[in-house]
Structure 1
């Protein structure tokens, strides 16, 4: 498939349009077409090249190779099969044609011929040409944290998915029309792209919010800011060019000079970056350093109370490299980020938390404006690329700011503990009866290696750290945290089952007997939460139900994971008696972006098909503390004037659960 779209000409039978009609549609809707192209183009281009490529894709939508169109007025072009609607609802085939050409051009950008090496960039002669801007860099205006997070998410999905999202939300096309347009543009799986785009639009934000973000300045390549290029490197290039010409004239060593001119891809120096980052944010001397001991004399016990620790806190060269990599993000730097974390350079000098050598790496940890934690690491020997890890840590507290991952190697992690952590131990959540064992910590607050949970993909054990705060800030406060693959470990709590007539209970630390026993049955469900920006997870035992035909009881548990960015994820689990204290609970249902099982969603009901030890099948249903009536309908019927219900059923019974509160209100059912 050629990278350059073919020139406008008669392509087949059907409706035809004049080039002037298409040109009028392009001029009228130029900003929206450029925004659509910008969204579809690969973010790896960088914002400057992406802006230029977006304008190029739209400007080339009419003419392509204009030498083939000697008489534009008489040229007729076929209308696409996928229609377009303007805001007044009228069909506009001319606009639909131009939009199709724009999408096709944006999707084609960067494709390589089949014969071109897979790891080599596409040759310049095969890339669509664009407007030329020299001496300036162009950037759309920066948006907020949500826009940065959306842009990061879009960078991880294929171009057809980004195009589908733009067509659905910016162009207001239906799913079928979007799939038809993508098919005409050459997408192999247009229906899959539409489905993936729909998932993006509802995963972390509702439809309208994503639509507003896509229409914001963050994705507007027509309203741009300008900055100078790398002035120092430009001067270096001029000097290098003059020197090369002199050497060529004197020695005639053109080939040698060509081999030695590899400075084009070098990253900008820190001194050059400082000109584009305000407020001295990249100056190591300006880093914020909290005095030791302040954590015990402040009411804000979070990362702002951490003093700088480590053996290289005064190593200016290391700190400068860390800040420069953060601001410049060279192409060979491995970057990870929790969902919803902005990757922009610091707007003011960040707080230094740690600088030292750990696990064969030089590591620097920063805390930026109370919002982000940033980890920089470079190998001490043997070469290799540097690493940048970003994580949101806004509104952290005594427990969620108690530790941060400082080094990962193999199947283990070392953590830097907060200065207020007085004792540290490690325990296996799947062995609730086994005492925790002491976890050594060095003089800088760095722990010994802690095994990562389920590092091999299984769930034979689940390590967690049990930490205790100093009595200087809180008395007898122990808590659990576990590693889910990100900088900040996750705080684990539990809410005990309600007592008879007792008021609603609040989450509490899971270090007691009941909490450990509960987590032994549900810890393996944490595997699906890795790398999703989780801040804390609570196990709420919302009901206990007698099991028919036995003298035993089962627990209903709502496991709620709260993320740093806000949305929650809920797993409803059924915990029947088991021979092993760590037998996994049965998953009943899963829900995303919900307030259920939190203080804003305190009422819940659920149901499951259960087989008794003697072989009979039952529909079991249960509601939370305030539920006064439970009903099952469908292929099986039953009513209970209480929070639990058991009805005999077939193995393949289809049923629905409904519940009513004591005040007559309905309860969300989770099945």
Structure 2
């Protein structure tokens, strides 16, 4: 369906009377702190007709030009969550980015001077390279196509709803301040696109994580020849005109042609790699990757280390590059730290650390064809989060490099809590092969984890198809405990297979908390309600599952799921979920449970019932649809997890 254009005018919004005044320094601080989000906002609002490469460059240009020239009154639009709440500087630069991105989609009529955002594609430009975001999946492509059919204001409305989490009233105010004449029509038009807001955070729409490819090489060669001929002609003409004095003078502060960047060259020099002494960790108060020594049988192979650093800086087209969500894949800013260089099964592997990321380079023993480069974000990792890194995967097995303080490495099946763990052995920190749960297909009969033991005790780590395994814990969100105790292992056992839903999501840790126990209406025992919360390295997008397990059941059932809720976490440990349950006698019930702080629960819709306390059980029919509402003991209302 073709969309209709919504009228737009370059107004500056309502009067600034009574609004906060923002200094240039405050606006600059907001722009620098939230630069990736602002560029993503501009990229999504810009018209897709510009092309992906042009949209990337224009988005960066518009964002960098969003600073005011002096003290400016901010728009009456609130900045939103995650560090932006109440920041008038962010509200101001966001409005300017939105305004110029919308203006860039308006055709220049020729009656007035064009705005900078309406300049033709000649500027800005990156010569010799095509830059564009990494391609997403079919869902991202479908969303991009739907957004391209919208008018600019409608596209902006959709993005403000999904990316900035603004309610419609604030979206309307933002569009009005940006100069949109009919914001209500823009909101109605945006309603035509399904609300797949989580996709807006994908790499498909990230203009800060880019791929680079050359432009048309033959055409560039022809243009270069023409430019050389023109330059020669200008030089001859200048000589004939007899320029006075010393001609046009020296280049001043400009670097000599083809000069190398010393910092970039230093980052590619194997001799400058940081190498930590083997005993440093023993006297350090830190337990993170910065105190790992360099290990492996190839730490002295300068040629291998040079290849690893060069591929990190500029991976070729044949290199398989992967990164966990939210992890930048650009080259190191300076010489990184060497953690490992050695032979792992049939490959040569190099593990590097730059303070923010772990980078793993792997190449076959007999050449460099089929080299791979993997990244994982590990900023702030300490303790269990810095206990192990994946060295290699082969034939469904995984090998780890463990921290120097790890004394023992074992394989423990999370589905069999009473079974004795199997010793994997350790050779200079490298474990023996462990059958990875990632390779499982079909029924989940086991879930192998890595149990590492140091002077402080044992900890469980689970492979989730990433470089750094996730730390598994149990207990209340405010004070989680290690999962290696018998009680904790029993809690995890029915729910271990739910970890399969968290593959490749950049998961840092997963906590399982039994928040309620509910007697079943048919007197067949008590069911457990367990909430599992997976925290990510990027600090957002945590996956929360409320799961239900009956006596004698092999697996827990997922009753509710959320990808953005604070529930079951240290900030908000409260959770409420419900499930339809069939008794042994064939009767259907609506069962619901909240955490112990729940004062009452009410079911609405297909089931109408209420109960005081944290548990509800109501007889119903198969397939009934119901909503849940709860009240906490402090009077606050909560809804069912969704």
TM-score scaled by length of structure 1:
0.64
CA–CA separation in structure 2 for the residues paired with 1:312 and 1:193 = 58
Aligned residue number for residue 419 of structure 2: 434
CA–CA separation in structure 2 for the residues paired with 1:617 and 1:309 = 60
| Residue 475 of structure 2 corresponds to residue 495 of structure 1 | yes
| Residue 268 of structure 2 corresponds to residue 282 of structure 1 | yes
* Aligned residues of 1:36 and 1:163 also touching (Cα < 8 A): no
* Aligned residues of 2:147 and 2:155 also touching (Cα < 8 A): no
Among 413, 422, 435, the alignment partner of 1:451 is: 435
1:444-493 CA distance string (max 9 Å, x none): 21111111104132312111011111x2xxx3x21100111110011111
| Residue 500 of structure 2 corresponds to residue 527 of structure 1 | yes
Deviation of residue 286 (structure 1)?
A: 1.0
Aligned residue number for residue 510 of structure 1: 483
How many residue pairs were aligned?
483
CA–CA separation in structure 2 for the residues paired with 1:192 and 1:320 = 52
Aligned residue number for residue 462 of structure 2: 482
1:49-91 CA distance string (max 9 Å, x none): 999xxxxxxxxxxxxxxxxxxxxxxxxxxxxxxxxxx979x99
Deviation of residue 139 (structure 1)?
A: 8.7
* Aligned residues of 2:135 and 2:203 also touching (Cα < 8 A): no
What pairs up with 1:404-415 in 2 under 5 angstroms? 404-415=389-400
CA–CA separation in structure 2 for the residues paired with 1:91 and 1:383 = 48
Aligned residue number for residue 356 of structure 1: 342
| Residue 544 of structure 2 corresponds to residue 570 of structure 1 | yes
Q: More displaced, 284-293 or 165-174?
A: 165-174
Aligned residue number for residue 303 of structure 2: 317
SS in 1 for 2:385: coil
SS in 2 for 1:523: helix
Q: 1:342 to 1:644 in 2, by over 3 A?
A: same
Deviation of residue 624 (structure 1)?
A: 0.2
SS in 1 for 2:426: coil
Deviation of residue 667 (structure 1)?
A: 2.3
Deviation of residue 301 (structure 1)?
A: 0.6
* Aligned residues of 2:203 and 2:209 also touching (Cα < 8 A): no
Among 609, 628, 631, the alignment partner of 1:638 is: 609
Q: 1:387 to 1:544 in 2, by over 3 A?
A: same
Deviation of residue 157 (structure 1)?
A: 7.3
SS in 2 for 1:280: helix
Deviation of residue 39 (structure 1)?
A: 9.0
SS in 1 for 2:282: helix
* Aligned residues of 2:519 and 2:525 also touching (Cα < 8 A): yes
SS in 1 for 2:107: helix
Deviation of residue 539 (structure 1)?
A: 0.6
* Aligned residues of 2:548 and 2:558 also touching (Cα < 8 A): yes
Aligned residue number for residue 308 of structure 1: 294
CA–CA separation in structure 2 for the residues paired with 1:46 and 1:341 = 22
Superposition RMSD in Å: 4.4
* Aligned residues of 1:572 and 1:589 also touching (Cα < 8 A): yes
CA–CA separation in structure 2 for the residues paired with 1:204 and 1:659 = 37
1:562-596 CA distance string (max 9 Å, x none): 111112110110011115xxx11111111012211
Aligned residue number for residue 588 of structure 2: 617
* Aligned residues of 2:105 and 2:152 also touching (Cα < 8 A): no
CA–CA separation in structure 1 for the residues paired with 2:464 and 2:578 = 29
Deviation of residue 669 (structure 1)?
A: 1.6
Aligned residue number for residue 269 of structure 1: none
1:215-251 CA distance string (max 9 Å, x none): xxx599xxxxxxxxx9xxx9xx99xxxxxxxxxxxxx
CA–CA separation in structure 2 for the residues paired with 1:637 and 1:356 = 64
Q: 1:162 to 1:282 in 2, by over 3 A?
A: farther
TM-score scaled by length of structure 2:
0.66
| Residue 552 of structure 2 corresponds to residue 552 of structure 1 | no
Aligned residue number for residue 325 of structure 2: 339
* Aligned residues of 1:630 and 1:644 also touching (Cα < 8 A): yes
Deviation of residue 152 (structure 1)?
A: 4.3
Q: 1:39 to 1:537 in 2, by over 3 A?
A: farther
CA–CA separation in structure 1 for the residues paired with 2:445 and 2:635 = 45
| Residue 354 of structure 2 corresponds to residue 380 of structure 1 | no
